[in-house]
Amino acid sequence: MNKYVFADKIVCYHGSWSAYRSGNGHFTVSDIDPTLCTHLIYSFVGLNTNGTINILDEDLDVTNGNLANFTALKEQNSNLKTLVAVGGWNEGSTTYSMVAANASLRATFIQSSLQLVQTYNFDGFDLDWEYPGQRGGSTSDIENYVTLIKEFREVFDEYGLLLTAAVAAASSSVDLSYDVPSLSKYLDLINVMTYDLHGSWDGVTGQNAPLYASSIDTTAASQLLNVDAAIQGWIERGADPQKIALGLGFYGRSFTLSSTNDTSLGAPASGAGTSGPYTLEAGFLGYNEICETQLEGGWTIVWDDEQKNPYTYKGDQWIGYDNVESIILKAEYAKSLNLSGVMVWSIELEDFRGICGIKNTLLNAINSALASGSYAVTVKMSVPLRIFLLYIFLQF
């Protein structure tokens, strides 16, 4: 049988804390359209030092019924798969490193996760350890993470449950954290976080998730900070393309320009951009915040044809982000490499109220792009990647 198929998965993360946002940014489980994603992932639960799952917001998740309501979305879409994610940036790495290194704690972690999944009728579990071997982790994390995932797999297979993971994008981080072939062997999906590739920490303006490198990327390191290099890096290191979901950020990274006389890509920046009314985080704006502020007028929008992304500026504020056009190009790119599909972080950052136009405009664009039978994006493949993909193709 020919299993060589186009990308068809749309994996959507939901950050549950959006329930505390104000005004038009307030987003709850009831605002989710379950027909626009193939997989929905509830974020996050945490991990205790004794290996048990930590419900981070008991009132929201349990008392107010968020977890139960989330999996009940399957009643509106019988093909939908729901998962719950453990970890995230704020959880760090120390506890995960300690638990992964201890056989007894690993067993407790797995059984506690299984209990959570079964209690609330989830279809699987997503590991979002950020990151093995980093941020307080250990050099043995790479090996221990494989052991943890392998043991998760053995238990979850008994119950027909999915096991996925969110992973770093940049090759420098991948090499510190993962045994890529082993992750590819045991995971159902590898959700590559191909965003946060540039931000105010750089000191100059840059795209959150450029598809390709820019001509201003003159160093070897900077030439790897783009979606194309990240995805090719995962494949070249041994990941099965049909298990990779390409991460799409429904947000932008913002900057305060050092001078309004230089508004270009790579312009000096004095710091993070002004926070938005919903996310309230300097240097970070949801797509809904970006499009709504653009409605007020005065913004210049520039298409960067090298990186296949827009950026926008007004006064001393500069934002690198994704719009419908760039999102479609990334979805088509995923198809061109026969990836599993795309992953979205995160749906509450979308124009979910349709204030700027079509409701859920980015998710609708993704669905249309993946449903289309053709694509026109040009993939710049290295020789090793061409050989690897040819090998994969000839197996089917």
Q: Which token pair is 58? A: 């008991």
Q: Evaluate whether 7 touches 372 at the Cβ level (below 8 Å).
A: no
130 classed as catalytic: yes
Considering 58, 75, 91, 130, which one is annotated as catalytic?
130
Cis peptide before 44 (omega within 30 of 0): yes
Other Cβ atoms less than 10 A from the Cβ of 2: the count is 6
Q: Evaluate whether 43 touches 346 at the Cβ level (below 8 Å).
A: yes
Please give the positions annotated as active site: 130
